[in-house]
Chains A and B, each alone.
Chain A
Amino acid sequence: MSKNGMFGASGSGDTSGFGGLVNTTTVIGSTERPFGSYFDQVADDLERAYPLFSDAIEKVVVDRGELTLFIKRDRLFDVAKILRDQLKFEMCIGVSGAHYPDESGRELHAVYSLLSITRNQRLRLEVSVSDKDSHVPSLVEVWAGTNWHERETYDMFGIIFDNHPGLTRILMPDDWPGHPQRKDYPLGGIEIEYKGATIPAPSQRRSYK
């Protein structure tokens, strides 16, 4: 991933040097065992309960004391069911999305936070799909509470959750074009005129570009 400029200024008369900066960030790779904390135990339990573990899990990331399992979308539903029934992750706390336009072929991510009250542990599942084929199986059948969260993620990112009982927009109006939280969607806003001077819309201001 790389970022240009300090304020995103480009093509302007900015001579401060901020505009020429390029920052690159490294994507965190996968973590090898031992994972530490209770994470090894979760991984062991899942491997025992789900023989296809190595096929289903793309990578395991342990970062800042949190465990993330990157799962292939075809296996997501099975893994979720096993996590609920056999590993006692009773609750899916929510679904969040993220849009990485630079990761070609896996631009859209759906992120699930799971909670086990029995084990008092947390776990995160992450699924990535491409922009062109943004289908992810719905987990409403496993945890009914993901219903609205999936609708929100669809609304904001355009990830289509297959077999969702009613995948419609939830926060934006039904006829809204586009998915606002995607990175290619502008911040928007309107110009404001005050005492003869015009203040540009937020997405036109240099500092917010």
Chain B
Amino acid sequence: MTTFTDPYASSQETTEGRVYSVTGGDWDSLVTEIGATKEERVVLNMGPQHPSTHGVLRLILELEGETVTETRCGIGYLHTGIEKNTEFRNWTQGVTFVTRMDYLSPIFNETAYCLGVEKLLGITNDVTERATVIRVMMMEFNRISSHMVALGTGALELGALSPMIFAFREREKVLDVFEMISGLRMNMAYVRPGGVAQDLPQGALAKIRETVKELRHNFKDNEKLLIGNSIWIKRTQGIGYLDLAGCTTLGITGPVLRSTGLAWDLRKAQPYCGYEDYQFDIPTTDTCDVYGRFLIRMQELEQSLRIIEQCVTKLEKLEGQPVMVADKKIAWPSQLSIGADGMGNSLNHIREIMGESMEALIHHFKLVTEGFRVPAGQVYTSIESPRGELGVHLVSDGGTRPYRVHFRDPSFNNLQSTAAMCEGGQIADVIAAVASIDPVMGGVDR
């Protein structure tokens, strides 16, 4: 057997057998070498740096020819210790951490966390309606931006470039709305315990109306590109099969569960943030496959737009209502404001605490540095994120800092189904199946 000098494809002998490394370029020499070996079984390491594994996911595949006989996931490459870090900051600062977990759905992380803190404080019903409606609107916008990435990258991984271009074009529009409202395009830390960081800026509702109209029009482009596209259908129909029994034993929620025909959505089943007051449908399919999951995501876009429109109508009526709880011992001392360089302290507030009122300064200092105390106990709150049930387990020991923050991230749980979906299928279908789970490694590894 010859040795190779190809920098992109080389092989070496190890105690486990011969190991081939490929990184890109022309693999002809390597393919010839593998073809010459008698062994049919190949263990393939895909990732953690691979364009179609959705981030730093490592897939360990055992192949017989092109058939996948065993699949294992290797995760942890993006572990950042956020849960540990929150124990060393106060409850409000926790928002800035948790928003960075699942970076495609920051508003959901923040809302789930804040609902938990509010439940611990016992102020769930004191949060103003305006703050709750803004949260719902932001969450639904976030669902759209997250689904746009799922659809765009999902199509890209199967070789369709155009849907990705269109999806990211729409996503940008949603991020513009986030920027207008919160000053930031992602990781906004906008939802805070007790309400939201600031009220909507002037003219926001008009801009949101316009954006909804544009999005509704443009979503048709992607639908035309994918639904009915014969290559797309062949790559996705009947692929990544997982039925209801599989979903329940594996704890799978979200679009994967709804693709089995079960209309389980926490917004309907166990409403939070007043979702029972909105008119919307839960799209389902009964195909249990990749195609069905993408179809559900596409249909959920329209449902999110419907909810946003209802939010806008509600917000018009709630003009002038505060967006933070009235309790000054919990509410952040001032509303923030957006300057040229992003979100920051309101100048009026700084004038007050620095020049006018000593008590206001003391109050501000206490609340911002030390934070508020949260009565001891534990809670579990869950919301329907774009990927399924996002649960937060919070434990307080009565102090100003969390005792334990645990995020039950839907990506983490749902990724367990990779083996069930992929084994027995072809290697190319692994990519489709993983894309249909839509895992975000920031959420998986936390």
- A residues whose Cβ falls under 8 Å from a Cβ of B: 1, 3, 6-7, 23, 25-28, 63-66, 68, 90-94, 96-99, 111, 113, 115, 117, 120, 122, 124, 143-149, 152, 156, 169-173, 180-181, 185, 187, 202, 208
Contact = CB atoms under 8 A, between A and B. Distances in A.
7 contacts: A25-B399, A64-B120, A65-B119, A93-B408, A94-B393, A113-B391, A173-B76
Interface string B228-256: 00000000000000000000111110000
B379 A145 contact: no
6 residue pairs, one from A and one from B, having the closest CB atoms: A145-B251, A25-B398, A94-B408, A96-B406, A145-B250, A171-B76
Interface in B108-148: 119-120, 122
Contacts of B75: 170-171
Contact of A3 (B85, B122, B250, B399): B399
Given A1-B397, A25-B397, A64 B416 contact: no
Contact of A117 (B122, B264, B400): B264
Contacts of A208: 88-89
B149 interface: no
A202 B88 contact: yes
Interface of B: 75-76, 79, 81, 83-85, 88-89, 119-120, 122, 248-252, 262, 264, 269-270, 370, 376-380, 382, 389, 391, 393, 395, 397-400, 403-404, 406, 408, 412-413, 415-416, 445-446
Contacts of B81: 180
Contacts of B76: 169-173
B84 A180 contact: yes
A113 B393 contact: yes
Given A146-B251, A170-B75, 19 more contacts: A1-B376, A1-B397, A3-B398, A3-B399, A26-B376, A64-B377, A94-B406, A94-B413, A96-B406, A98-B404, A113-B391, A113-B393, A117-B248, A117-B264, A124-B380, A144-B416, A149-B408, A152-B412, A187-B84
A202 to B, nearest CB: 7
A96 B251 contact: no
Contacts of A3: 397-399
A27 B89 CA distance: 22
A98 B83 CA distance: 12
A25 B380 contact: no
Contacts of B250: 144-145
B269 A120 contact: yes
Contact of A63 (B88, B262, B370, B377): B377
A168 B28 CA distance: 37
B319 to A, nearest CB: 32
Nearest to A147: B416
Contacts of A92: 251
Contacts of B393: 94, 96, 111, 113
B273 to A, nearest CB: 16
B391 A6 contact: no
Given A93-B391, A120-B269, A148 B88 contact: no
B393 to A, nearest CB: 4
Contacts of B264: 117
Nearest to B445: A171
B88 A145 contact: no
A171 B85 CA distance: 15
Which of B122, B404, B408 has the most chain A CB within a 10 Å cutoff?
Answer: B404
A117 B261 CA distance: 14
A208 B369 CA distance: 12
Nearest to B81: A180
B88 A187 contact: yes
A203 B389 CA distance: 33
A113 B380 contact: yes
A98 B79 CA distance: 19
Nearest to B80: A171
B415 to A, nearest CB: 8
A123 B406 CA distance: 17
